[in-house]
Structures are given as structure tokens and as C-alpha cells.
Structure 1
Amino acid sequence: MTEIAFSEYIKKLDSRMEKYIPPKPWTPADEALYGPENIFEIPPKEADEMRFKAIKYAFNHHYNNNSFYKNFCKENGISPEDIKSIEDLPKIPLIPDKFFKDYPSGEDFAAWLSGLVTGEMPDISINKKNPSYDDVIGAFNKAGMEIAYSSGTSGRYTFIPRNKKTFYASEYALAKTVISMVYPFWQYEMDGYLMMPNPHKTNVYAGKVCSMYFDAIENVEVAIDRDIPADLIKEAMGSGIKSSMIKFAVKRGNKKMVNRMIKWLREKEKENKKISMIGLPFILHFVMNKLEEEGETFDFGENGAVATGGGWKIYENERMPVEKFRKRVNDILGIPGEQCLDVYGMVEGNGWMVHCPEGHYLHV
């Protein structure tokens, strides 16, 4: 693999991710994300200083521009004036995750979402009398917001509203985190497979946040290229006859998806193309199961990389340790374990954690 200086590597990434980077002057939060060349090699003292300024800025911003959060902080007896050093950061009131799962439906859901928005609310137009969650989210997103939700593994979704700038920050953070960790593997001129729903056809955060993949990689295929409404996901995650029917349909669809991906792998190996695969681990797991059954292997070597994230969902019983998954990827696809990383994030935050090539820890 031809080495490229890390500074040049990140410059190339930033040129591809230009729309995600806000114009200067930057806020302290912007400085912490977009400023550092290598986010994993900032001296501890400098990192603490940046972290404090960024979090203090964010706290001030939400306190002064979100009446709901301001009242929540007052109930907890904390204001921005109380945050004077990095040791004070744990004092900042955090809204319990259960709050974001306790929401009404229909037009009341729209009002509930509006109450969470920091800053000026755009004009929202909802034409249906009894709108679904997706109807409401679609109206917000059409007005310039970015509403996304969790996959609902707990039985309830977590809905989080963001403005476009904040959502872009999350996408950029994901790209920079993973691409920095696989240095010097990334280049724009490669083929990618997104093992997720099409980001433009879902509001599930794990899929939606991956739209940046289309800007970071020249050619991208998508595993699940159809609309996935919230109600369908909820039913699939549940139990009962309807859930069983959905799971059966999903299983049939998975077979076609697996066959398409195997066909893609064969084509890319024949073309000697550099590839990356990003997304749900169980999709690649099923692909490898099929290859194993048929006694077929690949040898992508350093021409391949994998980044998994999003969890195992309804296939939790198939979950395996990261070390074992890496070994399977190496044995079946020929991709070195150092280029098979697992990423962790959540809809409630904009931060990402990724395994290092050694696989010892998740790094923030």
C-alpha cells in the first residue's frame, strides 16, 4: 500500500467532505471537530482544553436557546456560570434517555418534537389529519431539519431532532473517525458497499448518518434499497403473528441481498478493485455464512476494509466477539483484521467510538 502523508490524506478527505464543514468563523465545538488534523493524537492537555471549551459552548447554546432545557437545568440548580473548569463538566444536567422514548403520536408528536428543538423552528406543514411518525418526520425534514430515530431494540424509538449543520457534524465525525483509523487505506477512487438501508430512504439514524459514504467513496452499492417506515421496524422488533410474517419476508429478502453482495464481491476481485464495506455486521455475517457453505473464499488483502456498526438487531442470537468476527473476515474475505473495525454510536449523540486496528479498545 503506497504511503501518503497523514496531513495530505486528511486534506483529501476534507475536500470530498466540503459541504459538511461549516464556513469560518468556527465555534469552539466546530474547532474541536474540524480543526485537529489527527483527532486521535491530540496532546492530553490540549484535548482537555478543547473539550472543555466545546462542551461549555454547547451547554451555553442550548441553555440560552432552548426553553425546555433551560427549565430542566433550573430544576437541577445548574446554570452556565457554574461550569468554570473541566472538573465541573459532570454537573451539566443530562436529559434521561427515557424522556426521548416517551412521546405522543399524531399532531401531538409534532408539538413534542418542536419543544426539543434548540433555536428557531422552521415553518412545518403537515397536511394529514392523523399523521404517522414518518409523516411528521418527513414534514420536519422537508423544512430543513434532520429528524432521526433509533432502531427501537428496547421496544420504543428514540427520536432526536437536529438542524442540518448538527447532522452534518455527526456525519463528518463518523467519516473522519473511521478514515483516520484506517490510514492510509482510504481513497476516493474505490468501490463501496453500504450494508445498511439507503440513507435517502430511511430515518433510522444508523442508516441516515451514512449518506456521507456517497461523498467519501466514488462508487457505492446499497444492501437495502427501499423505504423502511417506522411502523414496519417496530413490528419487526416485536413479537406475535405480524412480527413473524415480517421476519419471514425479511429472511427471504436477505437471501437475495446476500446473493447480490456475493456477486459484487466476485466482480470486484476480478477487477482487482479496492473495496470498503460499511454497515450492519449481521449482513456480512450472512454473506460469509453462504460463502462458507459453498466453500468459496476471496483474497482482497490490503485492497479491502470493513467497518461494522449498528448492532445485530433481531439477529442478536448470531452475535459474536469482535475478535472472532475479524478472524472470519480474514479467513473468508482475505481482509486483514487490522482493516476490520467496529464502530459504536447512538442517535442521542454526535460522537463516535471506533476500534483501533489492534482491536484492543474503542477510541473516542
Structure 2
Amino acid sequence: MRLETMIGAPGAALRLPLGEWEAGIVTVLREAFRFHFERNEFFRAQCDANGVTPDDVATRADLPRVPLLPVSMFKRPDAHVLLTAPLNDIELEIRSTGTGGVPSVARRDTETVSRALIGILSTYRDFFALSKGAGLFLSPSTAETPEMGMVKVFNLLNGFFDDHVYVVRDYAFDPEEAIDHLNRWHGEMTRHIIGPPFLVNRLLRYLELEEQSLKLDQDSMVITLGGWKRYTGESISRDEFDGRIESYLGITADRVRDMYGMIESNMLAVECEHHRKHVPPWCYVSIRDVSDVDVELAVGATGLIAILDATNESYPGFLLSDDVGEVDESPCPCGRNGQTVTFRRRRHGAELGCCAVSIEKFIENKQIVAECAIPEAE
């Protein structure tokens, strides 16, 4: 299968027999490897040091030989050396700032942006089947945070809705406003909630404290992205989260869908109704030994998540993350094949960082300041 078909029809690509999926991903990754090998001096030097060329990648067993770029390199001031595309061809810069305050900067040229947009929109359509309704976005708008990767990914859902609203403005969130919008749409449109888990959790906590509950619609969905650990280090339990959504919003667990990705890659792994995050057909997830990242672990083993992305022409999309998890290749009841990925935690010693963490920390700090402020005399 050609890369263009994988991007434009990911639903069909994910339903191919496992053998066809494997042959297809090796082919497109070898082509991507050759593209950067021939055009990128920095990457070529890594290949020469490892003694590997595109001709050496003939089967899936050869994919671990492709040199990886640690995501920490995108935080360096000289990160432009990673680029295959000329700087003047860069159309978009996406940033992610963690609790350490050092941004990762991922630059994409026009072809890479086009592939990402088409692939993600096609994936949304396949997994969510949205074409109407109203979207309540528990996040800032792209106008307020134009370089934030998580917000960009959420914003692509707008085109599927008849109406939508963002309820985080100037890093402040008012749950009463969110509830007012949901009530305004009642009986008029199917209502969907989109945001990082911690902000959905804040809405649920407000409903619990106020002893309120809402009954959303039969086809309503809650779509999340951004990790399940707060900036304080506290984790949000997924089972508890799903249970509270059903109790306070009337949405069953199969309509709650989480996603996993990182700003350095065009990979967005989206959950099906069985809560398995499907790796898009243009990517391959390789789990690496934490003590020796050149070693690929067997399917099902826990290790560092590496992503090989065939769509990126801006820089080699062969990335070693700081995330720990597993892949599964067993058949999914939803009918999709290929890989599914499970994120467990950040590698020990890695900075806890993503867009959602930064938003939460800022909101919490603003609320503390506001609560402690001395009121002005009347």
C-alpha cells in the first residue's frame, strides 16, 4: 500500500491482514529512510556511524537499525541541524513546554503539514464518525495558543461540528460557563466534550461538589489527549474517570476516547471503543530496552517507546521518546489490525512535560493567586 493511501484512507489500511500491514510499513519507512539519508548531512553521519543504508532495510527485523533522534534534541538551541528541509520551507512550528520550561520545537514544511492534516482528519472520521453536533472544548483556542501542539490537534475536530466553543481563556476555566453551554445545546445538537483529562476531571469534580448531574446525548463523546498525570505527579485513574463520566454526564465508557501522541511526530494513536490506541498505518512503534536503546524488545514487553514515522519530510521522523509503554499486535474486536500502543509513564529522570501539564500548572497557579489576593476596599 502506498503512503498516500495510508494517509487518505487509514481506516482501510488498518483493516488489512497483518502480513499486508507489515509489508506496507516496511516499504514506506524504507522510502522515508532513503529520502533523509540522501538529503540530510546530520542524519547521514548517524547512518555512517552505525554502518546502515536504506538498502539494508528489507524486512521488519531490519527497522531497529534505522538511527533514532532522541526527542530531547528538539529542546536544543541548535535543533535546526535536525532539518532535512531548508529553513525557508518551514511552514509551521509546534511547541510543547513541560514543567521545566524548556520548549521542544518541531518544525514542519508544507508537505509534512499537508500529510499530517489529511491523516489526522481521516483518522478522526474513521474512529469517531462525527459529522455534526456541538463541541465543548475544555482548552484554549488556537488564537490564544497558536503554537501549542495539543490545541492544534483538538482544533482539527472543529470542522466536524455545527457549533463549538472554547471555555479556557487567559488560562482560566469556569465550569459554570461550560455547563451553561451544554444546557444551551440541549435538545438542539448532540453534545461532545474535548479536552485534556485533568480539565474534564475538574468539570466532573465541580458537578460532584454541586451535587449536579447532566444527561448528555446517546451519541455524545468525550475525547481526551494530554496524559493522565498532573503536574504535581498525581495520576488520574482511568477506570474512575470513566465511571465518573457515566455518573455525572451519562456517557458510557465506550464513548470515552483517549489519544496518544507527541508534537515531534505525526503519529496520533486514537482509541477505539475497546480502549485500544491504534498506531496509524504510516507509523511503526518500536519498544526499546531502557538500558540499551539499540535493542528492540519483543511485542508485549515494556520499554521506551520509539516511533518511526514515514510522513515527515522536514526532519527524520525516527524518534526515541522518554515515554515507557508496550505495543500489542493481537487482533482487536473493533476489526482494525496492526499495532496498538499503551503509554505507562515517563522514563525516570525525564521531565514531566506536555501541553496539558503546562496549561494545568498555569491555571492552578492563577487560581491560587486569585484566592489569596487581598480584596480592594470599597
Does 2:16 correspond to 1:50?
Answer: no
Tell me if the contact between 1:198 and 1:222 (Cα under 8 Å) persists in the aligned partners: yes
Does 2:207 correspond to 1:302?
Answer: no
Tell me if the contact between 2:228 and 2:236 (Cα under 8 Å) persists in the aligned partners: no
Query: Could you tell me which amino acid in structure 2 is paired with residue 72 of structure 1?
Result: Q
- CA offsets 1:297-338 (integer angstroms, 9 cap, x no match): 111142310111112565555532222211111111111111
Does 2:262 correspond to 1:346?
Answer: yes
Report deviation, 1:223. Answer: 2.8
- CA offsets 1:65-106 (integer angstroms, 9 cap, x no match): 2222122222222221211222211110001222222x23xx
Residue 324 of structure 1 is matched in structure 2 by: 240
* Whole-Å separation in 2 of the counterparts to 1:29 and 1:42: 14
Does 2:74 correspond to 1:150?
Answer: no
Tell me if the contact between 1:59 and 1:92 (Cα under 8 Å) persists in the aligned partners: yes
* Whole-Å separation in 2 of the counterparts to 1:313 and 1:324: 14
Query: Could you tell me which amino acid in structure 2 is paired with residue 163 of structure 1?
Result: D
Report deviation, 1:268. Answer: 1.8
Ranges in structure 1 where 5+ consecutive residues have no aligned partner = 1-26, 105-111, 123-142, 227-249
Residue 337 of structure 1 is matched in structure 2 by: 253
Does 2:72 correspond to 1:163?
Answer: no
Equivalences for 1:64-213 in 2 at 5 Å? 64-101=38-75, 103-104=76-77, 112-122=78-88, 145-153=91-99, 155-183=101-129, 186-187=130-131, 189-202=132-145, 203-213=147-157
Classify 1:323/1:336 alpha carbon distance in 2 versus 1 (closer, same or farther; 3 Å).
same
Identify the structure with bigger relative contact order (alpha carbons < 8 Å, sequence gap 6+). 2
* Whole-Å separation in 2 of the counterparts to 1:272 and 1:315: 37
* Whole-Å separation in 1 of the counterparts to 2:243 and 2:230: 23
Query: Could you tell me which amino acid in structure 2 is paired with residue 174 of structure 1?
Result: I
Residue 38 of structure 1 is matched in structure 2 by: 12
* Whole-Å separation in 2 of the counterparts to 1:59 and 1:300: 47
* Identical columns (%): 24
Tell me the matched-pair count: 278
Report deviation, 1:52. Answer: 1.1
SS in 2 for 1:220: strand
* Whole-Å separation in 1 of the counterparts to 2:123 and 2:114: 14
SS in 2 for 1:341: strand
Query: Could you tell me which amino acid in structure 1 is paired with residue 254 of structure 2?
Result: E
* Whole-Å separation in 2 of the counterparts to 1:121 and 1:182: 36
TM-score for both structures, normalised by structure 2: 0.67
* Whole-Å separation in 2 of the counterparts to 1:175 and 1:277: 18
Classify 1:50/1:225 alpha carbon distance in 2 versus 1 (closer, same or farther; 3 Å).
farther
Tell me if the contact between 1:301 and 1:336 (Cα under 8 Å) persists in the aligned partners: no
2:195 aligns with one of 267, 270, 279 = 279
SS in 2 for 1:47: helix
* Whole-Å separation in 2 of the counterparts to 1:150 and 1:313: 16
Residue 224 of structure 1 is matched in structure 2 by: 168
Residue 277 of structure 2 is matched in structure 1 by: 362
Tell me if the contact between 2:8 and 2:122 (Cα under 8 Å) persists in the aligned partners: no
Classify 1:161/1:50 alpha carbon distance in 2 versus 1 (closer, same or farther; 3 Å).
same
Query: Could you tell me which amino acid in structure 1 is paired with residue 198 of structure 2?
Result: F
Report deviation, 1:345. Answer: 0.5
Classify 1:218/1:50 alpha carbon distance in 2 versus 1 (closer, same or farther; 3 Å).
farther
Between Structure 1 and Structure 2, the one with more strand by share is: 2
SS in 1 for 2:87: coil
Classify 1:179/1:329 alpha carbon distance in 2 versus 1 (closer, same or farther; 3 Å).
farther
Tell me if the contact between 1:171 and 1:210 (Cα under 8 Å) persists in the aligned partners: no
Report deviation, 1:39. Answer: 4.1
Report deviation, 1:217. Answer: 2.4
1:214 aligns with one of 158, 162, 172 = 158
SS in 1 for 2:221: strand
Residue 29 of structure 1 is matched in structure 2 by: 3
Q: Which runs of 4+ in 1 moved over 4 A?
A: 312-318
CA RMSD of aligned residues (A): 2.4
SS in 1 for 2:68: coil
Q: Greater shift after overlay, 151-160 or 313-322?
A: 313-322
Classify 1:38/1:28 alpha carbon distance in 2 versus 1 (closer, same or farther; 3 Å).
closer
* Whole-Å separation in 2 of the counterparts to 1:62 and 1:51: 17
Ranges in structure 2 where 5+ consecutive residues have no aligned partner = 280-378
* Whole-Å separation in 1 of the counterparts to 2:217 and 2:194: 17
SS in 1 for 2:189: coil
Classify 1:344/1:153 alpha carbon distance in 2 versus 1 (closer, same or farther; 3 Å).
farther
* Whole-Å separation in 2 of the counterparts to 1:330 and 1:168: 37
